[in-house]
Amino acid sequence: MEDDAPVIYGLEFQARALTPQTAETDAIRFLVGTQSLRYDNQIHIIDFDDENNIINKNVLLHQVGEIWHISASPADKGVLATCYNKTSDGKVVTCAAVWRMPKELESGSHESPDDSSSNTQTLELLCHLDNTAHGNMACVMWEPMGDGKKIISLADNNILLWDLQESSTKAVLSSSSALEGKGQLRFTSGRWSPHHNCTQIATANDTTVRGWDTRSMRQIYSIENAHGQLVRDLDFNPNKQYYLASCGDDCKVKFWDTRNVTEPVKTLEEHSH
């Protein structure tokens, strides 16, 4: 196509969980998780063919509940983790699990976007990450440059570092840390830095952004009142080792140099919500 018209693709249910599949180096691929209370939820494998400006998709069933967070293994393109809601003893709890997609879908054989999803396949459960003693899972992060064996989950006010063993069918808790302070402290999101030999993560809780050393599980910096309202998400610049971006319910995006967090390097205020 000669113009850069956007390619529009419709999902059957609403969704708020999206991740790039970084282990797939031959294609531009994303995984999207849906949120439906009434029907089986789905993971859409979305491939973008940039030569022809076409989107292709496959659909996998995620029958355990609505998906709040999704992340793909950096080492194995068939493996992913989700955080999802389920009802237990009349209460809604958010759990986390590691899954494998069917082998034939790893290579990206597609139906066209108009095909019916009558041939929908199901994910294979590898292991659960939920330890209900630690609370509700907010997100799961893979070690960015790793072999897909280390994973961190944030549950309520706990940071949990897991070792995946026996081809990811067993998760062993290797270390943990807890956020301490007044009130009900709860992580909303986090990101594992690809720099510093993958020894640092950043977390968000309420309006605060914190940095942690994964070796000692201790805090290394704190940005109090990073945003005027709840911090929604974080990301590290993959090319510049000290730069972190944050976005919040105050409609702002801020960029930080983690060596000096007194002021943001830049603030974007163009968003209206």
pLDDT tens digits for 79-89?
999 999 988 78
Average pLDDT over residues 126-154: 88
SS3 196: helix
* Residues whose CB is less than 8 angstroms from the CB of residue 16 and which lie 6 or more positions away in sequence, other chains included: 35, 68
Residue 117: per-residue pLDDT: 47
Residue 2: per-residue pLDDT: 46
The token duo for 136 is: 């509700």
DSSP label at residue 111? B
In the predicted model, is pLDDT for residue 137 greater than 50? yes
The token duo for 174 is: 């290797």
Q: Which residue type, as a one-letter code, is found at position 263?
A: E
In the predicted model, is pLDDT for residue 118 greater than 60? no
Q: What does residue 116 show for φ and ψ, rounded to 5 degrees?
A: -75, 160
Average pLDDT over residues 13-36: 90
Separate counts of helices (H) and strands (E) for the chain: 1, 21
Q: Which pTM does this prediction carry?
A: 0.87
What count of Cα atoms within 13 Å lies in the side-chain half-sphere of residue 167? 5
Residue 37: per-residue pLDDT: 82
Most confident of 16-30, 120-134, 244-258: 244-258
In the predicted model, is pLDDT for residue 268 greater than 60? yes
Evaluate whether 139 touches 129 at the Cβ level (below 8 Å).
no
Which residue bears the tokens 């070690």?
Answer: 143
The secondary element (H helix, E strand) that includes residue 183 is none
Comparing 146 with 188, which gets the higher pLDDT?
Answer: 188
Average pLDDT over residues 44-65: 90
Share of the chain above pLDDT 70, in %: 91
Pick from 134, 125, 54, 60: nearest CA to 93: 134
d(CA 116, CA 246): 38
pLDDT band at 5 (very low <50, low <70, confident <90, very high): low
In the predicted model, is pLDDT for residue 166 greater than 50? yes
Residue 108: per-residue pLDDT: 61
* Residues whose CB is less than 8 angstroms from the CB of residue 191 and which lie 6 or more positions away in sequence, other chains included: 141, 201, 202, 234, 235, 236, 244
